[in-house]
Structure 1
Amino acid sequence: MRRWLPLLTVCLGTFMLLIDVTIVIVALPDMVDDLGASFGALQWVIDAYALALGALVLGAGSIGDRVGHRRVYVVGLALFAVSSLMCGLAPNSGVLIAARAIQGVGAAAMFATTFALLNSAYAGRDRGSAYGMWGAVSGASAAVGPILGGLLTEGASWRWIFLVNLPVSAVAILLCRTALTEARTPVRGRIDVPGMASFTAAAACATYALIRANEDGWSSRVVWSLLVAAALLLAGFVVIEARTRHAMFDLTLLRNRSFVAVLLAGLLLTFAAFTTFTYTSIWLQSVLGMSPLAAGLTGLPLSVTAFGVSAVLGRVLHGRRPDLVIGAGLLFVGLGSLLTAALVHGAAGWPSLLPGLALVGVGVGLATPILGSVSMSLVPVERGGMAAGAVNTTRQLGFAFGIAALGSVFTARAESILAGRGIPDPTHVAHAIAGGQTPGLLRAAPAAGRQVLDSAAHAAGVAGVQATFAVAGAVGVIAGLLVAVLMRPAGPRTATPAERPPVTEGAAR
């Protein structure tokens, strides 16, 4: 039993940090009422965390390679706990958003060192089992988030979705001191501060541009200025990484099609599988009137199938052809979302979500465990933190970009439905529906027109959700095909040690 304590320690941190990506979703309507948050602020409660996590995890992985993965993991846990307390006590949306950003920094430190810690603790068949169980926890966490969020929000307060992290963090820190060890001497070298700063700024500008586009439209000069700034900062990052001796990201890895495919898979898997939860939850609660817990439970098919597939097949699939496994996982995610888009229409309710979400869970369970093991196999062992950071960066940026992009999809589709029904100021009403403010709209409407507005809000809400699943489904299918092509073996050439995936004892027999 003691040999699995490192896995338990790593999984506790992973469970917390990934749950906190989605746990806030079902609490958003309550936050709107309690804090008086706007739609833009509502998005930033989610995106501030996902953006800080996605933008900093690459740099955190590089730091872990230099100062020690265990040390960085413990610091991340402590920072995560302190910022969770700040979130739980936040008096307004501004403080909450700032605390969420700090929480993302702590999560980045944990997430960036996860794969390196597992590789240090396990080998052979045990490593395959560890990655399978970690993948099960990882795949299920994001789907469990809305369920746990619903329980805490409905049973206590939305503030407890953050405060519950404190005892779990304390247990994880205690386990770190006894279960985790550094397996090797950290790499010497300076921390790439210019690279970290330029990449973080580029990611922030791109995400903020997508959010502003949702609010101001794509004709806004501010939006295009932010996109240009993001492009210039990204170009600056490439120049910095090419010239520094201690780069946090080795640009030569981009010559490896398999590594590029893993990065693409991480980005688009999260986009296609999880970002629809935000707008689905808002639709279920503020339009259909479901409780936070009931809305969260609709994600149960995804979490159950994701956990089951990863736990049962993770050990078997470890070391198998990654192009087939990851490609198939993304295709399942895409087909599940497209099935949901086909079923959610008209007077559809929560049962229409269940079959498609179960298929999405199968895809998540297939793809998630192998993403980590493949990324680690493509780099020298001393750069494991960098590889893990790169993959986890794309995963979290996929969520941040997806929230912003699908927000535009939802509001655009809702606005067209409202305009077709003659609702005055359809743009404002569409943004209010997407922001979970439908009950407030109905209360403020004149009694004579309330029924018409209610009917229009129901039609706009279901159409917006359908559009988000259609886009997510298309992204998933296209991503699956692209990854399968990019990772397909080029020929009978013998793989180099850096390219060869780890072989388990079971696969070798």
Structure 2
Amino acid sequence: MRKWLPLLTVCLGTFMLLIDVTIVIVALPDMVDDLDASFRALQWVIDAYALALGALVLGAGSIADRVGHRRAYVVGLLLFAVSSLACGLAPNPGVLVAARAVQGLGAAAMFATTFALLNSAYTGRDRGSAYGIWGAVAGASAAVGPVVGGLLTEGASWRWIFLVNLPVSVVAILLCGRTLPVAHAAVRGRIDVAGMASFTAAAACATYALIRANETGWSAAGVWWLLAVAALLLAGFVVIEARTRYAMFDLALLRDRSFVAVLLAGLLLTFAAFTTLTYTSIWLQSVLGMGPLAAGLTGLPLSVTAFGVSAVLGRVLHGRRPDLVIGAGLLCVGLGSLLAAALLHGSASWPALVPGLALIGVGVGLATPILGSVSMSLVPVERGGMAAGAVNTARQLGFAFGIAALGSVFTAQAQRTLAGRDIPDPADVAHAIAGGQTPGLLRAAPAAGRQLLDSAAQAAGVAGVRATFVVAGAVGVLAGVLVAVLMRPGGPHTVPSAERPAVPRERDGDGAPATRDAPARSGGDRRTT
């Protein structure tokens, strides 16, 4: 049993940081009332965390390679705990959003080190089992977030969705020193500050552009200016990394079709599988009138199947072709979303979601464990933080981009539905429905027209949710095909070790002496998991 304590330590951090991506979804209406803020302002409670996590995890992984993975993980836990306390005590929306951004920084430090810590603690079939259990936790966390959020919000207060992190963080910190091995030999050199700054700014601009597009529409000039700035910053990042000796991201990896496929899979898996849950929750609560707990429980089929598939098949899938496993997982996610869209209609309620969400969970359970193990097998052991950071950056940016992009889809479809029902100002009403403000609309409407508006809002809500599932389904299916093609055996998938820049090493950040004979790969053959 003791040999699984490192896995427990890593999974505690993973569970907290991923559940906090979605745990706030069902609590937003209560936050709006308690803090006397608009729903649109509190949307940043979700976006600030997702943006900080997505934009900073690559840089955090690079720093972890310098200072030691175990040390970086502990610092991440401490930051996460302190910022969770600040979130729980926040007196106004500004403090809450700022604390969520710091919480995202702590989560980035944890997320960037998980794969390296698992690789250092386990080998062979045990490694396959560890990744399977970790994948089960990761796959179920985001889906179970609304359930936990509903329980805490209804049973206590929305503040407890953050305060509950404190005892879990304390346990994880105490376990770190006793259970986690030294993960790697530290890399000597300067931290790539310029690369971190340019990439973080590019990710922030791109995400904010999508959020603005959701609020003002794609015709707004500001949206395209932000996208142009993001593109320039990304180009600057590429130039910086090409000229920097101690780059935080090795650009040579982008010539490896398998690594590119893993990045795409991480981005599109999160986009297709989880971002629809935000708008499903808004529809169930603000349009259909369900409580936070009931709305959260609708995601249970996804979390249960994801956990079961990953836990049971993690060891079995060890050594299987990753192109087939990841491709099949993405296809299941896509088909599950399309199934949910097909079952939704004008009078549908939560039962229509169950079959599709269950199939999405199967896909998440298949793909999630393999992403981590494959990414680690494609880089030298001392760059494990970089690899984990890159993959998890893609995952979290997929969530941040998905929230913004599917918000535009929801609003546009709701507006088209309202326009066909002779509702005044369909654009404003559609934005209000997408923002969870349907109850306020109904209270403000004249009594004579309230029933008509309620009927129109229900039709617009279900049409908007159906549209998000259609887009997510198309993304999942196309991603499955694309990843399977990119990762198929038979081509020059990996970057020859001779092309990788030499990385000087010194003593490990955790105090262990560096070894000069570390293997070129941390996970063995790239076709194993």
Same structural fold, with TM-score higher than 0.5 when normalized by the shorter chain: yes
Q: Residues 221-260 of structure 1: matches in 2 within 5 Å?
A: 221-260=221-260
1:296 aligns to what?
A: 296
Q: Is the Cα contact below 8 Å between 1:21 and 1:142 reproduced in 2?
A: yes
Q: 1 CA distance for matches of 2:180 and 2:247?
A: 27
Return the letter of the residue paired with 1:421.
R
Per-residue deviation at 1:29?
Answer: 1.6
Return the letter of the residue paired with 1:349.
S
Q: 2 CA distance for matches of 1:205 and 1:88?
A: 28
Q: Is the Cα contact below 8 Å between 1:150 and 1:295 reproduced in 2?
A: yes
1:196 aligns to what?
A: 196
Q: Is the Cα contact below 8 Å between 2:144 and 2:300 reproduced in 1?
A: yes
Return the letter of the residue paired with 2:57.
V
Gaps of 5+ in 1: none
Q: 2 CA distance for matches of 1:75 and 1:162?
A: 18
2:132 aligns to what?
A: 132
Q: Is the Cα contact below 8 Å between 2:65 and 2:382 reproduced in 1?
A: yes
2:152 aligns to what?
A: 152
SS of match in other structure, 1:128: helix
Return the letter of the residue paired with 1:346.
G
Q: 1 CA distance for matches of 2:490 and 2:36?
A: 56
The one-character-per-residue Cα deviations of 1:159-195 (angstroms, maximum 9, x if unpaired) are 1100100110011011112111214331111111111
Return the letter of the residue paired with 2:162.
F
Q: Is the Cα contact below 8 Å between 2:252 and 2:495 reproduced in 1?
A: no
2:398 aligns to what?
A: 398
Per-residue deviation at 1:499?
Answer: 7.7
Per-residue deviation at 1:500?
Answer: 9.5
1:345 aligns to what?
A: 345
Per-residue deviation at 1:154?
Answer: 0.7
Q: Which moved more, 1:161-170 or 1:88-97?
A: 88-97
Per-residue deviation at 1:79?
Answer: 0.4
Distance 1:501 1:488, change over 3 A: farther
Per-residue deviation at 1:494?
Answer: 11
1:362 aligns to what?
A: 362
Q: Is residue 463 from structure 1 mapped to residue 473 from structure 2 by the alignment? A: no
Q: Is the Cα contact below 8 Å between 2:379 and 2:522 reproduced in 1?
A: no
Q: Is residue 425 from structure 1 mapped to residue 401 from structure 2 by the alignment? A: no
1:381 aligns to what?
A: 381
2:509 aligns to what?
A: none
Number of residues of Structure 1 aligned to a counterpart in Structure 2? 506
Q: Residues 48-59 of structure 1: matches in 2 within 5 Å?
A: 48-59=48-59
Q: 2 CA distance for matches of 1:378 and 1:264?
A: 15
Return the letter of the residue paired with 1:78.
L
Q: What's the RMSD between the two structures over aligned residues? A: 1.7
Q: Is the Cα contact below 8 Å between 1:32 and 1:436 reproduced in 2?
A: no
2:317 aligns to what?
A: 317
Q: 2 CA distance for matches of 1:12 and 1:218?
A: 40
Q: Is the Cα contact below 8 Å between 1:39 and 1:431 reproduced in 2?
A: no
SS of match in other structure, 1:157: coil
SS of match in other structure, 1:316: coil
TM-score by length of 2: 0.93
Q: 1 CA distance for matches of 2:78 and 2:166?
A: 9
Gaps of 5+ in 2: 498-519
The one-character-per-residue Cα deviations of 1:278-300 (angstroms, maximum 9, x if unpaired) are 00001001111111111111111
Q: Is the Cα contact below 8 Å between 1:344 and 1:352 reproduced in 2?
A: yes
Q: Residues 151-170 of structure 1: matches in 2 within 5 Å?
A: 151-170=151-170
Q: Which moved more, 1:175-184 or 1:477-486?
A: 175-184
The one-character-per-residue Cα deviations of 1:11-30 (angstroms, maximum 9, x if unpaired) are 00000000000101111121
Return the letter of the residue paired with 2:467.
A
Return the letter of the residue paired with 1:102.
V
The one-character-per-residue Cα deviations of 1:216-262 (angstroms, maximum 9, x if unpaired) are 11111111110010000000000000000010000000000000000
Return the letter of the residue paired with 2:105.
V
Identity of matched residues, %: 86
Q: Is the Cα contact below 8 Å between 2:257 and 2:494 reproduced in 1?
A: no
Please identify which structure carries the higher helix content: 1
Q: 1 CA distance for matches of 2:71 and 2:344?
A: 47
Per-residue deviation at 1:43?
Answer: 2.6
SS of match in other structure, 2:314: helix
1:93 aligns to what?
A: 93
The one-character-per-residue Cα deviations of 1:116-146 (angstroms, maximum 9, x if unpaired) are 0001111111111111110110101111101
Q: Is the Cα contact below 8 Å between 1:43 and 1:404 reproduced in 2?
A: no
Q: 1 CA distance for matches of 2:218 and 2:67?
A: 43
Return the letter of the residue paired with 1:263.
L
Q: Is residue 502 from structure 1 mapped to residue 524 from structure 2 by the alignment? A: yes
Return the letter of the residue paired with 1:353.
L
